[in-house]
Amino acid sequence: MANFRCAKWLLLAALAYLLAGCKIVVLSHNVGGVASESNVRNCPAGELCEFDVLDIYFRDRFSGVASHPNYRFKEWQAGPRYLCGGMTAACSLSTENFADNPALMSIIESDAAFYLVPRFERIGSKERAALQAFQDGNPRVSDARGRLIGTIAPGEGLPPENWTHWQGINIRLKGYAQRYRLPIEFDGSMMIKVSNAKNNLGHTNPRCSSDDVPALILQSSGPTLGAVAGPDTPLPLVVGAGAQLYIPDPVESPSRKAWTTTWDSAERECLTAENGEGIVLPLVPLGVDIQYPLSVEGTNISIQGPVSDSLVF
């Protein structure tokens, strides 16, 4: 049945979009990729892969595979020229019956593109994450316990030793394709601290309850952070009250909602400051505990923790 349904999708898509091209484009996800039965058309998490369909001998079966234990494959994304859209089973694709169909053969002989995109869902209510050691050539950053947490991100075109222009700390999390960045800032006394004053944090619950998980406000526009933005494009690692860390929800897409800016303090006090409406992306808390101050390899500079009481907006 799955093979019939996928063949039907391929047939309908081919008849509806007689454009130049025949290839399968696989867009994997931040927390999962695609595995092929042949093992030659695998697409790891965070990658965009293209596979040519050149003849009537193409045959393979694709499965969505989560790279993080807190997620599982949900379904194949639906849409124009999307293969197996809405199906929850493995996607079996074959061109072996195309030989007697001139319309389908014309597609094979062209360069039309068809898409195979997995969707994933969270297992459980809380995010579980762990730091992943990596080296990108920049000075390493360790916390007060001597644990490596990431590397310094210098300003564009600047050497890492130009510390007054550090953008933040690059961090990798196990099982996530994306790179994350913990922002830092410099105050007038030249103290360096983890930044939480410009994170666009807010609550979509008008009661502004201290139990609410905050959201990242993207104002009127912004990238689709819930999907893959590219492994080399860092996503924000957001600091909330009590130095709690959050990442943009790996499986939720931005949506337009009403939001409220708040006072964010060590006591998780939540006082309404301003209301508005914009594109909101839910945040999910991480279980990663970073002990401050942080030290930077090759320097005597320390990076302090976030200020405990500041207005976030």
| Of 202, 205, 226, residue with least CA distance to 214 | 202
Map residue 139 onto helix, strand or coil.
Answer: coil
39, pLDDT greater than 50: yes
pLDDT at position 265 = 45
- What pLDDT is stored for residue 235 in this prediction? 82
Residue 229: which pLDDT band, with cuts at 50, 70 and 90? very low
**Residue 133 resides in a domain:** no
**Is position 128 within any domain?**
no
Contact 89, 61 (CB under 8 A): no
Q: Which of 133-137, 192-196, 294-298, 302-306 has the highest mean pLDDT?
A: 294-298
Q: Which residue is listed with tokens 């927390």?
A: 31
CA 64 to chain centre: 16
Q: How far is CA 252 from the centre of its chain?
A: 10
Q: Are residues 174 and 233 in the same domain?
A: yes
Range of the domain at 151: 140-312
Read off the pLDDT of each residue in 206-232 and give the average, rounded to a whole number: 54
How many domains does the chain fold into?
2
Q: What is the mean pLDDT of the chain?
A: 75
pLDDT digits (tens, 9 = 90+) for 239-256: 876 778 888 888 887 778
Question: Based on the domain organization, do 73 and 170 belong to the same domain?
Answer: no
Q: pTM of this prediction? A: 0.73
Q: Which two tokens stand for residue 196?
A: 């939480």
Q: 50 with 156, same domain?
A: no
Residue 207, pLDDT > 70, answer: no
Residue 127 included in any domain: no
Q: Say yes or no: 249 and 114 in one domain.
A: no
